[in-house]
Amino acid sequence: MTLFLSFARSLPLPGRIGLFLVCFWLLAALAGPLLAPYAVGAFVDYDVFSPMSGKFWLGSDYLGRDVLSRLLWGARYTVFLGLGAALLASVTGTSLALVAAVHKGWVDEVVSRTMDTLISIPSKVFALVMVAAFGSSLWLLLLIAAVTYVPGNFRIARAIALDLAAMDYVTFARAQGETPIRIALGEILPNMLHPLLADLGLRFVFIVLLLSGLSFLGLGVQPPHADLGSLVRENISGITEGAPAIIAPALAIATLTVGANLLIHALKKGKTA
């Protein structure tokens, strides 16, 4: 705990705000279902798009369900699915990029062309086929989102890694007889972390959008559950009334992504200073 506090103190103000927002949403995702006042699919209000009240803190949605409860459940999907998929995509993409950059030649060629093939498949169509073949499940969604964003991360990581692989310190390591793994992880990767973290933040936002798009098509998180993106979508008609049912999940997405990016940006600064 003290370690965490000293870490928080080392960050500049925007970083602390980011850290707070990320922690807030992580807690919401973890403890949300315990805190939710109503069941996620229960119709509890006779009115739809009702405003904030003591009974329904964030009002009710287009079917008269409690928005707060749905938000707390939804955070779980968005945070874990989005973050999980973004991490999976980045780790896979970067690992492949390092293999390509260290070995070069035909290895690079094979991996790069495979990635080009993957990038040419439209993500929604790919998701459709996968869901049709295996049925919708959370693991499958995670995998789809990750696979969709691996090539993008791979391209960025490969470009950076190739540049770094031409540096003298990598040449020196090779002349010492260091193993390729050691060169990739010990010499190249530490210099790639900052741009990769920025990329991770970006991918995370994309994945949240992809997941909500999939949910809209009925391929994503299955009703009555919904992730934050689909909460926005399903309540879109409430926008004319300024209903909290649409504003709350939109704000949730905004604070989560902005928070994540603020934190990442602060980490970058903290490292270079």
Residue 109 near another protein by CB under 8 A: no
Alpha carbon separation from 63 to 57, 225, 231, 235 (Å, rounded): 16, 14, 12, 9
CB atoms near residue 195 (< 10 Å): 14
The residue range among 115-123, 167-175, 204-212, 217-225 that interacts with another protein, by the rule CB under 8 A, is 167-175
Which member of 187, 199, 227, 234 binds another protein (CB under 8 A)?
187
Q: Looking at 31, 169, 236, 237, which residue binds another protein (CB under 8 A)?
A: 169
- 31-37 long-range contacts (CB < 8 A, ≥24 apart) are 32/71, 32/72, 32/73, 32/75, 32/76, 33/72, 33/73, 33/76, 35/72, 36/66, 36/68, 36/69, 36/72, 36/73, 37/66, 37/68, 37/69
- Name which of residues 118 to 147 contact another protein (CB under 8 A): none
Q: Which stretch binds another protein (CB under 8 A): 93-101, 163-171, 199-207, 233-241?
A: 163-171
Rounded to a whole number of angstroms, the minimum distance from the CB of residue 185 to another protein is 12
- Least separation in angstroms between residue 176's CB and another protein is 6
Comparing C-alpha atoms, which of 156, 194, 196 is closest to residue 273? Answer: 194
Q: How far is the CB of 236 from another protein (least distance, A)?
A: 47
* Least gap, CB of 91 to another protein (angstroms): 19
198 binds another protein (CB under 8 A): no
SS3 43: strand
Q: Which residues bind another protein (CB under 8 A)?
A: 167-169, 171-172, 174-178, 187, 190-191
